[in-house]
A and B are shown apart, each in its own frame.
Chain A
């Protein structure tokens, strides 16, 4: 059974760096799986926002509007993915989700969709 769990501080101060850890089970980030892990955040009443993705081969992708503030990394042995976000602002107050991202064979190539989500962790910046 696939599961993901986010952990990190519930409260950070403006200008601080946020570090979130995703601990997962039921799959691995290895070449044999072609799996990825993404981070998504959502502020109440707004659409979810994709932040970053790390792939089985350690390729990393970031939301262009937040790229300078984000770093994603993985520890395959620990089944963990870590996201850091620098220079936190009250506008970054949100629920942050860790999401398994799986390959979808769409015929001509693979696309990666988000299939299993963690329950999220709420972060307030104040």
Chain B
């Protein structure tokens, strides 16, 4: 099973700042099949990035995914108030056995 480790656990930033979230896999993720999701209370979870760097439909271009192999990054270039949420990475290269990271909480400083 591919274990995903996200860091940091909590990130405290202000609107307008840049956020960098990390996701490290215990083994290489097949075909860089790595996705990022945003979870907010009372909302359906939202796909942001798939294929490590492909932005999902309707996702603003301030969200950028990068990385390959075992190391992946989600960057939010200029934080908007609605971006404060919990973010999870997920690998689907071993699908149908999917695994998620433990999450990074992005909170307002």
- Is B truly associated with A? yes
- List residues 30-82 of chain A with CB under 8 A from any CB of chain B: 38, 46-50, 53, 61, 63-64
B29–chain A nearest beta-carbon distance, Å: 10
Is residue A119 contacting chain B, with contact meaning CB distance below 8 A? yes
The answer to whether A108 and B98 touch across the interface, beta carbons within 8 angstroms, is no
Decide yes or no: A47 and B33 within 8 Å by CB, A117-B46, A119-B44, A120-B44 being known contacts. no
Tell me the complex Cα distance, A27–B16, Å.
37
The answer to whether B47 and A115 touch across the interface, beta carbons within 8 angstroms, is yes
Count of chain B residues with a beta carbon within 8 Å of a chain A beta carbon? 27
Tell which of A47, A53, A119, A120 touches B96, judged by Cβ atoms closer than 8 Å: A53
What is the chain A residue whose CB lies nearest that of B103? A47
Please indicate which of the listed interface residues A38, A46, A106 has the most CB atoms of chain B within 10 Å of its own CB: A106
A35–chain B nearest beta-carbon distance, Å: 14
The answer to whether A119 and B43 touch across the interface, beta carbons within 8 angstroms, is yes
Chain A residues whose CB sits within 8 angstroms of the CB of B103 once the complex forms: 47
Tell me the complex Cα distance, A113–B102, Å.
18
Tell me the complex Cα distance, A47–B45, Å.
13
Count of chain A residues with a beta carbon within 8 Å of a chain B beta carbon? 26
Is residue B85 contacting chain A, with contact meaning CB distance below 8 A? no
The answer to whether A114 and B43 touch across the interface, beta carbons within 8 angstroms, is no
Decide yes or no: A106 and B31 within 8 Å by CB, A47-B101, A53-B96, A115-B50 being known contacts. yes
What is the chain A residue whose CB lies nearest that of B35? A113
Tell me the complex Cα distance, A109–B103, Å.
28
Is residue B67 contacting chain A, with contact meaning CB distance below 8 A? no
Tell me the complex Cα distance, A89–B64, Å.
40
The answer to whether A112 and B102 touch across the interface, beta carbons within 8 angstroms, is no
A59–chain B nearest beta-carbon distance, Å: 9
Chain A residues whose CB sits within 8 angstroms of the CB of B84 once the complex forms: none
The answer to whether B56 and A106 touch across the interface, beta carbons within 8 angstroms, is no
